[in-house]
Amino acid sequence: MWQHKVRFNLGAVGVDVPVEAMDLVHFALRRPPSQNGSAMSSVTAAVRSPSRLAGLRRLLLLDTPPNPTFDRLTRLASQLLQTPIAMLTLVDSDRQFFLSATGLPHIVGATRQTSLDYSICQHAVAARQPLIVSDARVDPVLAQNPVVTDLGLTAYLGIPLITPDGHAVGTLCVVDVVPREWTDGELALLTDLVEITMDAIRLHVHRRLASHRRKWGQYR
């Protein structure tokens, strides 16, 4: 299993972003994705797989409004694992969309997306395995990621969301503001929350499809 270790220092422990950091936040929102060597190319290829993207779109979740169920799950993840930040992400071809997030600065939380240059979650999606990062500053793959160099990310634990047809479409992840050694118990706890998350996603899909069928029936 590909194991790492990470942190999200967005300028202050309380994830309040100082004025001098706001340009970096806006930069994160608009910066186009880039290629950083063969490792990054393989991640990009996996993320942009047509079958994976088709599986993501079948969930009917991209660009949906905030959902109280998903918001409760990220709050619960943050509380149980005692981290200031938790995110439920969907990894698209060129961006990560925050289905839910807690602890992010308002400018990012309101926009609910960043470019993939600022995504650690894409690595978990590409590997289809939990990504465990205690200190990204010394990680050979992540050390030069702008979210580390510009925003100070340091400790990350993320588990991919795997659909019934086998596609990794996003992650449920927690982020700390200090280097951290994640325990097996914390990994197991987050894994349980991912299972609950996937149950909620399946229920969402069934409801959306039922709603579409009712609408189609009205026009027949």
| β-pairing verdict for 85-91 and 113-115 | unpaired
Q: What is the pLDDT of residue 208?
A: 75
CA distances from 181 to 80, 107, 142, 194, 212 (A): 16, 29, 17, 20, 46
Please report where in the chains the tokens 């990062």 appear, as a residue: 133
Q: What is the pLDDT of residue 110?
A: 78
Q: In angstroms, how far is the first alpha carbon of the chain from the final one?
A: 51
Nearest-angstrom CA–CA distance, 62 and 57:
7
Average pLDDT, the chain: 82
Q: What is the pLDDT of residue 39?
A: 64
Q: Indicate the domain borders of the chain.
A: 3-218
Tell me which fold the domain 3-218 belongs to: Beta-Lactamase (3.30.450)
Contacts of 33 (CB under 8 A, 6+ apart): 44, 94, 115, 116, 117
Nearest-angstrom CA–CA distance, 104 and 126:
24
pTM of the model: 0.78
Tens of pLDDT along the chain (220 residues)?
344 433 333 333 333 433 333 333 333 433 443 434 566 789 999 999 999 999 999 999 999 999 999 999 999 999 999 999 999 999 999 999 999 999 887 767 678 999 998 899 999 999 999 999 999 899 888 888 887 777 777 899 999 999 999 999 999 999 988 899 999 999 999 999 999 999 999 999 888 777 766 666 655 5
User: Are 56 and 92 a contacting pair, CB within 8 Å?
Assistant: yes
Q: What is the pLDDT of residue 23?
A: 39
